[in-house]
Amino acid sequence: MRKLIRIAAVITAALVLAGAGAVMWFDYLYGPDRVLEYARIDGTALELNVFEPANGSPEMRPAALFFHGGGWRSGLPEQMFHTAKLLAERGFVAASASYRLKYSDGATPFDCVDDAKRAYRWLWENADELRIDRRRIVVGGSSAGGHLAAAVALIPRPGDPPDSPAAMLLYNAALDTSFEKPTEARLRLIEDEFGERGREISPLHHIQGGAPPAIVFHGRQDGMVPFEHAESFCAGMQAAGNRCRLIAYPDAGHGFYNVGLPLVDDANAKLLAFLADEGLAGAP
C-alpha cells in the first residue's frame, strides 16, 4: 500500500508540472545510482537514494544528505533529486532520504528528527565504503526537510557521530517550531503535533557557537513558513559567531525551489558559490 501511495503521489506531482519541468522530474526520478536501506522501523524500510559522482575518483569525496518537504506529513525523496544530481555532477556523493511520515506511518515531527539523525549517522558510519570524507558531509532540505537538516546539525543527541555536518543548505525551512510567536495560519494547523515540546526540536533555539555554516534560501511571500524564520535564524547564527548567508527572493512563495520553477537555476548557482567559499566543493 505504501508503494502504491508513493507511485500515485509521484504521478500527481509530475502532472502538475508543465512541459520541460515534467520531463526533468522523471529524469531525476529514475536517476539514483543506488538505493540503500539505512534503517528499518516496525517493518518500514528507510532508504537513501544515492547519486554517485561520474568522475570515479579514488579519493575521498564530499557528501550531501537531503531531506524532502511535506510538513512532516507527506512528501517524497524525489523532491530533492534535482539538487542531489547537481552535486553529484560536481563530485559529491549525494543522497536523498526517505523518513517516516504522518500520513503513511503515523509519525510525529519528533519521529522525523529521529530518522534524520539515523540517516546522518548511517552515512557517517559507512563513509569508508562510499568513499566519503566524514569531515565534508553537508545536510540540506526544503520546508520540513530543511527543519530536519538543521536539527541534525544543531540539536545534539547521544550517539551522534564525532563529526558534525560541515554545512547546512536550507530552502524555505521551518526553523522555529516553538510556536511562541505569531506565525502563518497554515503552519499553525500543525501546532498540535508539537504540543508543548516544539522548542525541543526547534533549530532556532539550539544555535550555539561553532555551528556549521549555513545558506538559507527563503521567499519573502512565503505563506507557509514566515520569512522571519530565515531572518531570525541567520541573525541568531551570526550573533553566535557562525556564518550564515541569507538569500531572499522578494516575490517568491513557499516551494519556489521545486524542480522546473524559474528560481531554481539562480539558487543552484548561489549554492555552488557558497560551497566553494566554504571549501566544500567537489571535483567536476
Which domains does the chain carry? 28-277 (3.40.50.1820)
Inter-residue long-range contacts of 31-37, CB under 8 Å, 24+ positions, other chains counted: 31/81, 31/85, 32/81, 32/84, 32/96, 36/95
C-alpha 231: how far from chain center? 18
Contact yes or no for 63/48 (Cβ under 8 A): no
Residue with cell 567537489: 282
**pLDDT at residue 16, as a whole number:** 42
**In 10 A of CB 239, how many CB atoms?**
11
Nearest residue to 163 (alpha-carbon basis) of 129, 197, 133: 133
**pLDDT at residue 55, as a whole number:** 74
Q: What span, in angstroms and rounded, lies between the C-alpha atoms of 211 and 16?
A: 38
Nearest residue to 99 (alpha-carbon basis) of 82, 79, 76: 76
Task: Provide the H-helix boundaries in 19-80.
Answer: 19-29
Nearest residue to 167 (alpha-carbon basis) of 258, 252, 273: 273
Residues whose CB falls within 8 Å of the CB of residue 54, separated by 6 or more in sequence, listed in order: 88, 89
Please state whether 181 falls in left (phi above 0), alpha (psi between -120 and 50) or beta.
Answer: beta
Query: Residue ranges of the chain with pLDDT lower than 70?
Result: 1-30, 182, 283-284
Helix (H, G, I), strand (E, B) or coil at 18: coil
**pLDDT at residue 139, as a whole number:** 99
What are the grid coordinates assigned to 207, written together? 544555535
Q: Write the pLDDT tens digit of every residue in 53-86.
A: 987 777 899 999 999 999 999 999 999 999 999 9
Nearest residue to 147 (alpha-carbon basis) of 267, 67, 249: 67
Residue with cell 516553538: 178
**pLDDT at residue 54, as a whole number:** 81
**pLDDT at residue 181, as a whole number:** 79
Q: What span, in angstroms and rounded, lies between the C-alpha atoms of 152 and 144?
A: 12
Q: What span, in angstroms and rounded, lies between the C-alpha atoms of 171 and 148?
A: 11
Task: Please state the pTM of the whole predicted model.
Answer: 0.90
Interaxial angle between packed helices 144-154 and 109-125, expressed in degrees from 0 to 180 and rounded to the nearest 10: 60
Nearest residue to 132 (alpha-carbon basis) of 35, 57, 202: 57
Q: What span, in angstroms and rounded, lies between the C-alpha atoms of 268 and 140?
A: 13
Nearest residue to 137 (alpha-carbon basis) of 98, 99, 170, 92: 92
**pLDDT at residue 24, as a whole number:** 53
**In 10 A of CB 34, how many CB atoms?**
13
**pLDDT at residue 173, as a whole number:** 97
